[in-house]
């Protein structure tokens, strides 16, 4: 599924924001994740062996130029416009296992809005890098096993703000997310592409020699 030539591991870690935290849009085109408590936390893992662990997403991010895709015409199913934009900035992800932290560098490639629903990295690109963990939790070890991963966040507004409106509005809401390790393909993709190009070249050479003989 990934457009990066990386495979995904089997089971994602799913999480939700905790009470007192939110994703906050600042009204000037940026957004952050607010936290609560000490150490700062804004997410809780909801499944797998990491269930109940707290974590924190931090960083300041910026919404780029908004592109609106109009609904199809005719539009018998009343499809709404979709707005998308790049999301710049760099942050970090931390998951506390009680004694050891998992840490990672976080970026968001894009943001998308459709009706009341919004998502960060809906394209499921690799957006977690430098994942480091030296603890013993099985799912955190799995997430950190390759050093990179994919993190997707969804959130919602009943008022159905378009991204253009969202950039100009100071507003917060709840969110949920899923993350999974991205497994490098160890050069298999490159090997297959190379074999394909070689095959095409071979066919062209054979065809050319036949045409010359003819």
Size of the site for another protein (CB under 8 A): 55
Q: Binding to another protein by residue 79, rule CB under 8 A?
A: yes
The sign of the CA dihedral 31, 176, 8, 148 is positive
Q: Binding to another protein by residue 179, rule CB under 8 A?
A: yes
Q: Binding to another protein by residue 112, rule CB under 8 A?
A: yes
Q: Binding to another protein by residue 100, rule CB under 8 A?
A: no
Of the candidate residues 130, 169, 174, 207, the single one contacting another protein (CB under 8 A): 174
Measured in residues, the chain has a length of: 214
CA distance 55 to 69: 35
Give least dist CB 152 to another protein, A: 4
DSSP for 59-87, please give it.
E-EEE---EEEPPPSS-TT-PPPEEEEEE
Other residues' Cβ atoms within 10 Å of the Cβ of residue 59: 16
Q: Binding to another protein by residue 148, rule CB under 8 A?
A: no
Give least dist CB 200 to another protein, A: 29
101 or 122, CB closer to another protein?
122
CB-CB contact of 100 with 132 (8 Å): no
Give the residues across from 183 on adjacent strands: 7
Give least dist CB 74 to another protein, A: 12
DSSP for 120-155, please give it.
ESTT----EEEEE--S--HHHHHHHTTS-EEEEEEE
Give the residues across from 86 on adjacent strands: 110
Which stretch, 56-64, 92-100, 134-142, 176-184, contacts another protein (CB under 8 A)?
176-184
Give least dist CB 63 to another protein, A: 16
Of the candidate residues 157, 163, 166, 167, the single one contacting another protein (CB under 8 A): 157
Q: Binding to another protein by residue 15, rule CB under 8 A?
A: yes
CA distance 200 to 119: 40
From the list 102, 110, 108, the residue with the least C-alpha distance to 127 is: 108
Q: Binding to another protein by residue 47, rule CB under 8 A?
A: yes
The residues of the shown chain that bind another protein, judged by CB under 8 A, are: 1-2, 8, 12, 14-22, 44-47, 51-52, 72, 77-80, 82, 112, 114-119, 121-124, 150, 152-160, 172-180
């Amino acid at each position: 599924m990934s457009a990066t030539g990386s495979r995904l591991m089997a089971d994602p870690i799913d999480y939700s924001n905790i009470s007192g935290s939110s994703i906050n849009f600042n009204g000037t085109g940026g957004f952050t994740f607010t936290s609560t408590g000490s150490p700062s936390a804004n997410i809780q893992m909801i499944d797998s062996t990491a269930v109940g662990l707290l974590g924190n997403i931090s960083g300041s991010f910026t919404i780029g130029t908004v592109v609106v895709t109009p609904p199809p015409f005719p539009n018998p199913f009343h499809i709404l416009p979709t707005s998308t934009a790049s999301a710049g900035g760099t942050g970090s992800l931390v998951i506390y296992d009680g004694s050891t932290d998992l840490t990672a560098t976080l970026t968001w490639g894009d943001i998308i809005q459709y009706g009341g629903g919004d998502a960060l990295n809906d394209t499921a690109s690799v957006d977690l890098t430098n994942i480091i963990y030296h603890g013993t939790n099985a799912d955190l070890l799995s997430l950190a096993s390759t050093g990179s991963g994919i993190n997707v966040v969804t959130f919602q507004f009943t008022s159905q703000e378009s991204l253009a409106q969202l950039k100009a509005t100071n507003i917060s809401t709840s969110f949920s997310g899923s993350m999974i390790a991205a497994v490098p393909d160890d050069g298999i993709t490159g090997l297959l592409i190379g074999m394909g190009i070689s095959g095409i070249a071979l066919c062209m050479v054979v065809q050319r020699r036949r045409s010359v003989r003819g």
